Structure 1
């Protein structure tokens, strides 16, 4: 019987087309079913940035089937970690969540060669996040 995820993470950026999609792809790839992964945008785009898709494909992660989604209060409330990447004040705040803001360059309008360093910065932050979640262990059920 598979165990329940130890945490849920929501990645938020304006268009949900680049940074948040790459972060969600890395977290799903690196943490597997140990972590529930969501992503959303305050003003979602029409599609995932093709340069982000290509940059992720280069490291063996396919995000080509992802679709930008609108940020909802319910998605924030259902997440243990809310990681923003330039969504400003559009992200609702609920008590008991861990909020992190990752200052990352926006890949919109950039070619794959400019997206690679953003991708690599996201990967390092995701690796640190996975280590933090694993160290914290499963949520307490005695609350």
Structure 2
């Protein structure tokens, strides 16, 4: 992909290619011996393109790309056995990665206090996390300020120990040696705060049960 193709449709960005190249250099150094520089470069620009399809604020794309690519590279290194897991890995998947999976991930992070590492993704990610979901989480003491919808990728599935789907059907690839669960949880999209809070209570009950099973 040429620079023109990468920057087309992103007015106002000051040469994101240069920013992405710096991310490639930094991440190549960080993952030396675990992931090849070629793979790092591919994943950075691939992540930029994937996020760009739905991003509402284009000016933030290079920063979000770095975070997304870092998460994917970490997952890839873990799946290859090049990076030791310090905690069980849980992956939540819903359709838009804007509601259910974001709530579940925030709760695992909050209640496990680092004893479980969590990721989330969407089969068809939205352009932002549902504001009502963020409001309900904040009211429960979980201020999620840096979450953003991310597309589902093979690397995060391969790195997970437990994969939990929430209404995304057969979008998730199946790999041996992993535990797969499907939680039937109401979609909070378009719901009022009271309804979303009830959904959050349902998810919290399930999350606490999961953490108990994981010994966390």
Contact 1:48 1:64 in 2 (8 A): no
Select the residue among 91, 109, 120 that pairs with 1:28: 109
Describe the superposition over 1:67-97 as per-residue Cα deviations: whole angstroms up to 9, x where unpaired: 0000001111100000000010111100011
Contact 1:21 1:63 in 2 (8 A): no
Describe the superposition over 1:81-114 as per-residue Cα deviations: whole angstroms up to 9, x where unpaired: 0000001011110001100000000001111111
TM-score, normalisation: structure 1: 0.89
Select the residue among 158, 175, 199 that pairs with 1:94: 175
TM-score, normalisation: structure 2: 0.60
The corresponding residue for 2:132 is 51
SS at structure 2 position matched to 1:121: helix
The corresponding residue for 1:85 is 166
Contact 1:82 1:97 in 2 (8 A): yes
**Are 1:134 and 2:215 an aligned pair?**
yes
Unaligned segments of structure 2, at least 5 residues: 1-84
The corresponding residue for 1:64 is 145
The corresponding residue for 1:140 is none
Q: What is the total number of aligned residue pairs between the two structures?
A: 132
The corresponding residue for 2:123 is 42
Higher helix proportion = 2
Select the residue among 93, 97, 105 that pairs with 2:186: 105
Unaligned segments of structure 1, at least 5 residues: 136-143
CA RMSD of aligned residues (A): 1.2
SS at structure 1 position matched to 2:132: helix
Higher strand proportion = 1
Describe the superposition over 1:3-31 as per-residue Cα deviations: whole angstroms up to 9, x where unpaired: 921x1000000000000000000000011
**Structure showing greater relative contact order (alpha-carbon pairs closer than 8 Å, 6 or more residues apart):** 1
The separation in 1 between residues aligned to 2:102 and 2:144, in whole angstroms, is 7
